[in-house]
Amino acid sequence: MEVTRRVEPLWRRKGAVFALIAGCVFGALGSAGGLTEAKAQEPRQIPSSAAEVQLSFAPVVKSVSPAVVNVYANRKVVRQRRVSPLFNDPFFKRFFGELGQGMGQPQERVESSLGSGVIISEDGTVITNYHVIENADEVRVALADRREFDAEIVLKDERTDLAVLKIVNDGPFESVPFAPADSLEVGDIVLALGNPFGVGQTVTQGIVSALARTQVGVTDYQFFIQTDAAINPGNSGGALVDMQGRLVGINSAIYSRSGGSNGIGFAIPAQMAQFVASAAGHGDRVKRPWLGASVQLVNAEIAEALSLDRPKGVLVTKVYPGSPADRSGLEVSDLVVAVDGKEVTDPNSFGYRFATRPMGGTTDFTIVRGSKERHLEISMEAAPETTARDMRVIKGYSPFAGTTVMNLSPAVSEELRLTETFEGVVISKVERGSTAARVGLKVGDIIRAVNEVGVESTRDLENISNRSQRLWALDIERGGKINRIVLRG
C-alpha cells in the first residue's frame, strides 16, 4: 500500500501547543512563587550528577539487554543443476567427458536468516517470530555478551507468527518478565531491542502510537501494538519493553515502502506470546479455546437496526450444536460487547480476547440480547475431534494424486483455519509438482462429490480415486462456495 499524501506528524503539530501551554504554566508558577527578575537571572549551576544532566534509559537497557538474543536460522537447500544438452553428445563426451561428470548432480547449499529473540525464563526458553525460523534445520542464538549456543525448536505457531526455542545449555540465563495484561496505554514510552540489519544489538526508543491495530494482515489474530520506535529488518522477534523493563510485545512487522523504518512498527502483544509459550511442551501445536460460533462486524447499518448509539461488539451469526457457545446459552443475534470485561470492537479484537484466555475454567461474555445486558460463562476447551481424521495419501492416476486428505471435525477445521465447516473430507497437503497441484487443488479445499457421488470419508475418496475413469467431475468447496472442475482422463 502506498501513501501519496504527505501528512505532518501529529507530535510536531502538538509540540508547539505544548510549548505554549508549558510556558504559560511555568510563567504562572513563577509569578505565584514571587520570583524576582534578579532571581530569574541568577547564574546557572554546573550539574553535580548525571541525573541532573539528562534523562537516561540506561538502567532499563542494562536490565533487559542480556535477555535479548540474535537468532541465526540455517536450512539446507538441495537444487538440481541444469546441464547443457551438449554434454550428452558423443563428441563432447569424448573430449569433455570429465568436465561433464557430476554436472547434473544435486547440489546442497545453506541458506541463512537472521532475527532476534527474547529469553523469557532462566532455563533458556526463547520467544521469537515464526517467520525467523520457518523451515530452519539448525538454529543458534547469540547473547549480548557474545556467547553462542545451539537451540531447539520447541513449538512453531504460524497463526500467531510466534515460535518457542530452548537454548541447549543448562544456564541459568537472564530473562525478561512479562508485563501485566493490558497494562500498556497509548502515549507510553517503550524501547525496542533487537539486531537490525545484522549490525549488532541495538536499542531504539519511541511511544505507543496505538493499541489493538486489527488491519495489519500479518497473523490470523489481528491485534497489534503500534509504535514509532525504529524497527527494521532483523528486529523481528526482538523485545518491546516498558520503562519497568517488562516485556510488552514481540516486534514483528513494519509499514514501509522502502524496507526501512518509517516510524510505523507493529508488535505482537506479550499476552499472546505468553499464551503460546505456555503451550510449549504440550504437543507440537498450540491448543486454543473453541467457541463453536461465528460472529460478524457490527457496522453503522446494523447498529441502527439494533438501536445502538454506535457500532460496537460483534454479532453472533451461527452457533454450532453441542459447542461451548451452545451449552452456555449463546444465541444467534446476540451482541457480544466484552470478553472478561474487555471491550471488543470487531471480529479481530474478539478473536484475540477469546484466544488468549487460558484453557480450562470459564470466560465471561457480556452480551446484549434485545435491550438487556447479560453475562454468560463460556467453557474454555479445545475443539473436539468428533470424527477420526483417518489421514490418507492419495496416489495413482486420479486428479487427487499427491494430496493428503483428512476427515473434517471441529479440531481439524480449527487447525486448517476453516469456519462453519465440520463434516466432509478436506485436503491438508498438496505435493509440489503433483497431479493435484497441476489441477489447482489447494490445502483447505473440501471435496464434496466426484462424478455426482458424495464423498463422506477419506476411505470413500481413496476408493473413488482408484477407479479408472475417462471423465472426472469434481465438486470442490473453497471459501464457502462450491466450484465444479471437469477433467478428461
Beta bridge partners of 250: 239, 268
pLDDT score at 255? 61
Q: What is the pLDDT of residue 469?
A: 84
Q: Could you confirm whether 364 is annotated as catalytic?
A: no
Annotated active-site residue in 65, 157, 161, 242: 161
Query: Which pLDDT score is estimated for 10?
Result: 29
Q: pLDDT at position 239, please?
A: 93
Sequential pLDDT tens for the chain (489 residues): 333 333 333 233 333 332 222 223 233 333 334 434 444 455 556 656 655 556 788 889 999 999 999 999 887 765 655 555 555 555 555 555 554 555 555 666 666 778 899 999 999 999 999 999 988 889 999 999 889 999 999 999 988 899 999 999 887 999 999 998 888 899 999 999 998 877 788 899 999 988 876 655 555 566 788 888 888 888 889 999 999 999 999 998 766 555 555 668 889 999 999 999 998 877 778 888 999 999 999 999 999 888 888 999 999 999 999 999 999 999 999 999 999 999 998 888 898 899 888 888 899 999 999 889 999 999 999 999 999 999 999 998 899 999 999 999 999 998 888 877 788 999 999 999 999 999 999 999 999 999 999 999 999 999 999 888 889 999 999 988 999 999 986
What domains lie within the chain, and their CATH numbers? 67-82+106-167 (2.40.10.10), 189-279 (2.40.10.10), 293-379 (2.30.42.10), 392-488 (2.30.42.10)
DSSP string, 340-362: TTEE--SHHHHHHHHHTSPSSSE
Q: Are 399 and 435 in contact (CB under 8 A)?
A: yes
Q: Which residues contact 48 (CB under 8 A, 6 or more apart)?
A: none
**Active-site pick, 131, 261, 398, 475:** 131
> 65, 116, 175, 236: which is the annotated catalytic residue?
236
Taking the C-alpha atoms of residue 390 and residue 407, their distance in angstroms, rounded to an integer, is 6
Give the C-alpha separation, 119 to 64, whole Å.
10
- Is 188 catalytic? The answer is no
pLDDT of residue 45: 62
DSSP one-letter code for 81: P
65 is catalytic: no
Interatomic CA distance for residues 186 and 342, integer angstroms = 16
Question: Which residues carry a binding-site annotation?
Answer: 131, 161, 234-236
- List the one residue out of 111, 120, 237 whose CA is nearest residue 167: 120
Please say whether the beta carbons of 352 and 221 come within 8 A: yes
3-state secondary structure of 327: helix
Q: Which of 358, 337, 386, 212 is nearest to 287 (CA)?
A: 358
Other CB atoms within a 10 A radius of the CB of residue 132 amount to 25
State residue 200's pLDDT score. 81
Q: 169-186 pLDDT, tens per residue?
A: 887 999 999 998 888 899
DSSP 119-173: EEETTTEEEEEHHHHTT-SEEEEE-TTS-EEEEEEEEEETTTTEEEEEESS----
In angstroms, the Cα distances linking 22 to 13, 29, 38, 465 are 15, 10, 22, 78
CA distance 241 to 269: 11
- The C-alpha atoms of residue 201 and residue 261 are separated, in whole angstroms, by 16
Q: What is the pLDDT of residues 299-341, one digit of tens each?
A: 999 998 888 889 999 999 999 999 999 999 999 999 999 999 9
What is the residue whose three cell numbers read 508549558? 22
Give residue 43's pLDDT. 58
| Bond into 172 cis (ω within 30) | yes
Binding-site residues for substrate: 131, 161, 234-236
- Which H helix or E strand runs over 194? strand 189-194
